[in-house]
Amino acid sequence: MRYNRSQSSDQNFWVSYADLMAGLLFVFILLIGAIVVKYIYVQTDLKGIKNDLEEQKRVLHLSQEELLQKKQEFFKVTF
């Protein structure tokens, strides 16, 4: 009888240990998943910001060209 109790207790320990390790693995998988999702969101935001900056750069370049033309017209009129 005594041997049965020890074997049952030992088996319960390993079942508990296996459940603990499975839970820990689940937490790591969730953590890695969250990191991947955040990385994807950051990359998407970065692409949006890059597109906005390119548009602003294009508009600034057009404004500079327009300003240069107006300066040239101004100098033509004054001189």
Cα 12–Cα 28–Cα 13 angle in degrees, nearest 5? 10
Average pLDDT, the chain: 89
Look up the pTM and report it: 0.60
Q: Any idea what DSSP says for residue 18? A: H
**Separation of alpha carbons 3 and 15, rounded Å:** 18
Nearest Cα residue to 52 out of 44, 18, 31, 17: 44
Q: Any idea what DSSP says for residue 79? A: -
Average pLDDT over residues 71-79: 88
CA-based radius of gyration for the chain? 34
Q: Any idea what DSSP says for residue 1? A: -
Report pLDDT digits (tens) over 21-45: 999 999 999 999 999 999 999 999 9
Give the residue carrying structure tokens 């906005």: 52
